[in-house]
Amino acid sequence: MTPLEILTAAIRGESAPRIPIFCNLLDQGARELGMGQRDYYRRGEQVAEGQLRMNRRYGYDNLWSLFYVGKEAEFFGCREILFADDGSPNVADFVVKEWDDIARLELPEDITRHPAWEESATCLKILRAEAGETHPICAYLTASTSLPALLMGMERWLELLLTGPADLRDHLLTLCSDFFRQQVAAYRAAGANVLLYSTPFSTPYFIGKQRFERFAMPWMERDLAPGGVEGIVYYCGMAPFNEVIPQVIEQLGIGIHYLSPLADLAEAKGSIEQRLVGQNRLTCGVIDDIQLIRWNREQIRAEVQRICQIGIPGGRPGSHFLFGTGVMPMAIPEPNIRLLLEAAFEFGRVS
């Protein structure tokens, strides 16, 4: 079976020789090509090549079209990204420095004609041509409630969200939601089929459960309404969200959940299973990959085994489970990446 078929089987609960294994080696692509990150992320061809090489080297299932998280801010006028050759790039130029700047923000009429899209489109085209038939192609899309953090910083966004004028906040969120709608349609059209809906500000960890229900949920419904939830993966940037899984399933209709390593995996899986009996669904158990920087072989294997035992009890088929990582830090030693994936392929076997 191809990785794409294995993923589809996992979502449908059909039999497959193993569970899908996702590994997110983004910035490592630059190192693989012997380039600094600033140069690497300049060209879509390079990002595609870096991702294809990482995938071939380790044999995991997914391919990423993501450059870096702050790229979305470039559509709104961000001109400076702080690159580091040992870690992920940061937004260095917030386009909203004062609340008054929000009124001046402009959303491109068609994001696929914006220069920021051009290289992403090139990357996607190559990935689709090289592996689109066999591998899931992932795209990263920031939800309307979290995108403002890339435009004004987490601190200013939280301040506006909690204490600012509601009309200004809603204007910003409308722009961000309209951007999301355009972006998700563009990624789908370009061949991405795993759409990571990144929504850390829509978690109880950030804003509490009441605000999640009253504030975040309506905006998420707005984000997702036109395009539906086909291929959408609920992801909260490593923040736990077990307690809102029922609402995410029932109100948004999302059945694929990429969990926090800090979450109670068994509880989350139980919650998803209970609400989607007989339906497509997927619980993505995520390892705490920061620990991989210093864990030894035994520790890595024990943790992968623990996660897989919860995800595929008794190694039975049809477990609706995926093993995944966070954004693997550059500091993880190469042998540990190998150990991780060897263990995932071993313990992820289904009998």
Partner 1 sequence: MIAEILKAYNEAVFETDKEAAFEVVEAALAAGLRAEEVVFKVVIPAVEEMMSSITKDPDANLAQHFMTAQIAAEVTERMLQRFAHPPAILGRVVIGTAAGDLHSLGKRIVMGCLKALMVEVVDLGVNVPAERFVEAALEHDAQVIAVSAMMVHTATSEQGARAVRRILDERGLSNRIKLVVGGAPYRFDNELYKIVGGDGWAADGITAGRIIIHLIRDVKSEQNGQNEQNKQHEEREHDPA
Name the site residues for partner 1 (rule: CB under 8 A).
82, 84, 86-88, 90-92, 153-155, 158-159, 161-163, 204-209, 211, 238, 243, 261-262, 288, 290-291, 293-294, 329-331
Q: Which is nearer to partner 1, 118 or 159 (CB)?
A: 159
Cβ 64 to partner 1, closest distance in Å?
18
Q: Which is nearer to partner 1, 159 or 334 (CB)?
A: 159
Q: Which is nearer to partner 1, 203 or 319 (CB)?
A: 203
Q: Which is nearer to partner 1, 5 or 159 (CB)?
A: 159
Q: Which is nearer to partner 1, 82 or 189 (CB)?
A: 82
Strand locations in 46-182 (E): 63-64, 81-84, 87-91, 137-142
Nearest of 331, 258, 262, 342 to residue 304 by alpha carbon: 342
Cβ 198 to partner 1, closest distance in Å?
15
Report which secondary-structure segment, H or E, holds 105.
Answer: none
Cβ 236 to partner 1, closest distance in Å?
12
Cβ 219 to partner 1, closest distance in Å?
15
In this structure, is the dihedral angle defined by the CA atoms of residues 178, 127, 129 and 285, taken in order, positive or negative? Answer: negative
Nearest of 199, 182, 173, 52 to residue 116 by alpha carbon: 182
Q: Provide the CB-side half-sphere exposure for 256 (13 A, CA).
A: 21
Strands 81-84, 87-91: pairing is antiparallel
Q: Which is nearer to partner 1, 117 or 212 (CB)?
A: 212
267-295 in b/e form (b: 16+ CB < 10 A) is ebbebbeeebeeeebbbbbbbebbebeeb
Q: Which is nearer to partner 1, 89 or 136 (CB)?
A: 89
Cβ 163 to partner 1, closest distance in Å?
5
Q: Which is nearer to partner 1, 28 or 182 (CB)?
A: 28
Cβ 242 to partner 1, closest distance in Å?
10
Cβ 22 to partner 1, closest distance in Å?
18
Phi-psi region of 89 (alpha: psi -120 to 50; beta: other; left: phi over 0): beta
Cβ 80 to partner 1, closest distance in Å?
10
Task: Give 117-150 as a DSSP string.
Answer: HHHHHHHHHHHHHHHTTTS-EEEEEE-TTTHHHH
Strand partners, 286: 324
Asked whether the beta carbons of 216 and 201 are under 8 A apart, the reply is yes
Torsions phi, psi for 243 (to 5 deg): -70, -15
Strands 282-287, 256-258: pairing is parallel
